[in-house]
């Protein structure tokens, strides 16, 4: 059976619904922020929230990583765009342009596993070696239920608490992925199309803090690109109760919520606000911003969640 571009977008929307449902369950901030926005009259219903992008984290090992996960989204018509490097965090990332302008961009990062210490790399391989062929190749990507099941299914055995902690001591990203796998890492609320008083990151952060939401302050609460046109902020990741091998339970970092303001490009700065569309605004991502947003799940930030 051949599928058309429209079919594939419809299938992707089902996959996205499945991701967002698990994400809302794991991150109470998502609904709490939407409700606060409705109560304050910023929007009249949560489905008016614009999703700037969603993000995934992966392990850079054979059969997994960006080259495996991206196949799903390329199939639905997403296009790979710029690459970003994070030498200190030992991460690489790409962003993907959506097949329809109202769909979120996708940001996928990957841990450079072999750049870690031999001990940490060996721990990761002891889990990921269970994957002996690219699992995405085995999927029928036109079957939304199959893809949904795959994104939320364990890829390797349940980690031990000792391995989780050893990984976290060297790479908090590694520890996050060994437990959380392909659960959505965050979705991102577009703020620039909201009413005046909420349509800048500074104003939206103030609204969030008035309502008691905790923001990631790594490098400052507002992350600004060098061109001044991409401004981002994020909440501190929600702590989740996680069951480790042997039934041990511990609280670890889950997922978080991000906020983005994309300012008009200079050549469109004269346009009245209602004429500004996505293509008139700053596109893509910014390594300097992303570097600090990653820390939304790091213990230096999540301490603010543990009372
Ligand atoms: C992704 C951090 C980067 C952005 O928008 O630049 C990011 C992550 O925490 O996995 O989301
Ligand atoms: Ni992001």
Which pLDDT value is given to residue 305? 86
Q: Assign residue 112 the CATH number of its domain.
A: 3.10.180.50
Q: Ligand 1, residue 289: give the atom nearest the CA.
A: 6
Choose the residue to mutate in 89, 186, 235 for probing ligand 1, maximizing ligand atoms within 8 Å of C-beta. 186
Q: Report pLDDT digits (tens) over 7-27.
A: 999 999 999 999 999 999 999
Q: How confident is the model at residue 307 (pLDDT cuts 50, 70, 90)?
A: low
CB 66 within 8 A of CB 108: yes
Task: Tell me how far the alpha carbon of residue 106 lies from the centroid of ligand 2, in angstroms.
Answer: 9
Task: Tell me how far the alpha carbon of residue 256 lies from the centroid of ligand 2, in angstroms.
Answer: 10
ipTM of the complex: 0.99
Identify the nearest ligand to the CA of 187 by its number. Answer: 2
Q: Report pLDDT digits (tens) over 171-190.
A: 999 999 999 999 999 999 99
Residues linked to residue 250 through DSSP beta bridges, in sequence order: 242
Nearest to 77 by CA among 138, 151, 4: 4
Q: Report pLDDT digits (tens) over 227-246.
A: 999 999 999 999 999 999 99
Residue that is written with structure tokens 């520890």 in the block: 175
* Distance between CA atoms of residues 80 and 94, nearest Å: 7
Task: Tell me how far the alpha carbon of residue 2 lies from the centroid of ligand 1, in angstroms.
Answer: 34
Q: Ligand 1, residue 84: give the atom nearest the CA.
A: 6
Which helix (H) or strand (E) element contains residue 289? Answer: helix 287-293
Q: Report pLDDT digits (tens) over 129-174.
A: 999 999 999 999 999 999 999 999 999 999 999 999 999 999 999 9
Q: Give the dihedral sign, CA 142/144/150/151.
A: positive
Which pLDDT value is given to residue 2? 81
Q: How confident is the model at residue 117 (pLDDT cuts 50, 70, 90)?
A: very high
List, chain by chain if needed, residues with CB within 6 Å of any ligand 1 atom. Answer: 55, 57, 107, 109, 185, 232, 258, 285, 289-290, 293-294, 296
Nearest CA to ligand 1 atom 2: 294
Residue that is written with structure tokens 């923001």 in the block: 215
Identify the nearest ligand to the CA of 292 by its number. Answer: 1
Q: Report pLDDT digits (tens) over 244-300.
A: 999 999 999 999 999 999 999 999 999 999 999 999 999 999 999 999 999 999 999
Q: By residue range, what is the domain housing residue 125?
A: 5-305
Q: How many domains does the chain have?
A: 1
Nearest CA to ligand 1 atom 6: 290
Nearest to 229 by CA among 307, 274, 281, 153: 281
Characterise 117 by phi-psi region: left (phi > 0), alpha (psi -120 to 50), beta (else): beta
Per the confidence metrics, is the pTM higher than 0.90?
yes
Nearest CA to ligand 1 atom 1: 294
Nearest to 300 by CA among 236, 239, 244: 236
Task: Tell me how far the alpha carbon of residue 3 lies from the centroid of ligand 1, in angstroms.
Answer: 32
Q: Report pLDDT digits (tens) over 189-218.
A: 999 999 999 999 999 999 999 999 999 999
């Amino acid at each position: 059976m051949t599928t058309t571009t429209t079919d594939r977008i419809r299938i992707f929307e089902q996959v996205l619904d499945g991701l967002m449902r698990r994400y809302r369950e794991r991150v109470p901030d998502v609904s709490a922020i939407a409700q606060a926005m409705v109560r304050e009259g910023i929007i009249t219903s949560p489905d008016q929230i614009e999703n700037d992008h969603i993000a995934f984290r992966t392990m850079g090992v054979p059969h997994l990583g960006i080259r495996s996960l991206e196949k799903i989204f390329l199939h639905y018509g997403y296009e790979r765009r710029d690459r970003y490097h994070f030498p200190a965090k030992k991460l690489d990332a790409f962003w993907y342009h959506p097949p329809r302008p109202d769909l979120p961009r996708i940001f996928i990062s990957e841990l450079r596993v072999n750049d870690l210490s031999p001990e940490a790399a060996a721990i990761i391989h002891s889990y990921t070696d269970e994957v002996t062929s690219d699992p995405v190749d085995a999927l029928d990507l036109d079957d939304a239920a199959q893809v949904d099941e795959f994104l939320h299914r364990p890829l390797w055995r349940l980690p031990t608490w000792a391995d989780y902690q050893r990984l976290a001591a060297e790479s908090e990203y590694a520890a996050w992925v060994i437990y959380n796998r392909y659960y959505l890492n965050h979705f991102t609320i577009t703020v620039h199309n909201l009413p005046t008083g909420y349509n800048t990151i500074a104003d939206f952060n103030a609204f969030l803090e008035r309502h008691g939401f905790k923001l990631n302050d790594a490098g400052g609460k507002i992350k600004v690109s060098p061109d001044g046109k991409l401004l981002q902020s994020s909440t501190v990741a929600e702590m989740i109760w996680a069951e480790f091998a042997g039934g041990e339970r511990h609280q670890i970092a889950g997922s978080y919520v991000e906020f983005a303001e994309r300012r008009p490009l200079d050549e469109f700065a004269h346009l009245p606000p209602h004429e500004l569309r996505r293509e008139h605004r700053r596109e893509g991502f910014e390594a300097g911003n992303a570097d600090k947003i990653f820390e939304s799940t790091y213990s230096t930030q999540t301490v603010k969640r543990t009372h």
